[in-house]
Structure 1
Amino acid sequence: MMNASRYAAILVWGSVVLFGANVQTVRADGGHGGMMGGHMGKMHEGHDQSKQDEHSCQDLRHLLKHGKELGLTPEQIGKLKTMQLDLSRAQVRAEADIKVATLELHALVEDEQAASAAIQAKVDQLKKAEGGLLYTTIKSRRDAMAILTPEQREKEHAMMEKMKGGEAEHSGGMSGMSGMGGMMGGGHGKGGAAEHQH
């Protein structure tokens, strides 16, 4: 089992990456070489949560932006705007709580006299705040979808699929251009080499 101090150090790293807190790197003594794998896992987890939060906000903005195409009523638009504001408030507050808890946890980890129970309590507080933010984000998206009629949901789904298809096509086109550029560059290089041989 991973002890509380080691787990806390890993959690601090992930949270620092997620919220950009200006915190010094947690120092690790010998025997903690394996922590880097844990750090990378927490960093990936943090990025995933950040993307989830951003995606939910984009969903609400998308619905409001395309309200006319979706056939949203004034009442629906009003509800979505209120939901968007509530979500933004909740995210700002939760992110502030998480950032403060991260700094406090870092201080405990750096303090050799800190009790493991205190570190564990701070870890639990941090995870609870992160979980609360994630739940709020997911619930907001579900509530937004519940406001729409079945027909509007179908239109929204078709619109999103079309956008995803366009992004994939654009991405593929850029990759193709990059590949062609590489081939042209390679061919030019060979031609240049041949010229030098003459």
Structure 2
Amino acid sequence: MNLTVTRTAIPEVMILEPKVFGDARGFFFESFNAKTFEAATGLTREFVQDNHSRSARNVLRGLHYQIQNPQGKLVRVTSGEVFDVAVDIRRESPTFGRWVGVTLSEANKRQLWVPEGFAHGFVVVSEHAEFLYKTTDYWYPEHERSLLWSDPDLAIDWPIHGEPQVAAKDAAGKRLVEAEVFEGELGFAASR
């Protein structure tokens, strides 16, 4: 198989490492194949939207989720390096409120599967980074929510010095104790 999968401390969040074929000309790898993804992860997902962002060092994007139309995300970096984070916000989950962080880079070519029911964010640790992600549902701004990146209850160990550069909506993110989270089979929930 051309894909190695490693489960993180939250088993539903997975690191995917494609087999890279390289020689003096450069490299080639299959960045996504639905059959390979299903065989390696046991998941069947249809991706409906691709997103691409470019950010400078110390830019932190997140922690985002959609309380309705939740998105699963398959994320990767094509230039630079980021520290990528997924936070479990499924109330009935044994890992509710826990997070995992993974370094994704142009060099390691890793991808991260962030399932529906998780908040997601990243911080750029290189001079710049280009970040690509496939989503299982469309972006609905009216359903988008942000967890506060610096929530002391989450205690995410972001590899930054000083304050990161964040969007206004992320600076106004809610702490997990007051955020809307997922109930049951990713049903809508009011504040905690």
Q: Which has the higher strand share?
A: 2
Q: Which has the higher helix share?
A: 1
Same fold (TM > 0.5): no
TM-score (norm 2): 0.17
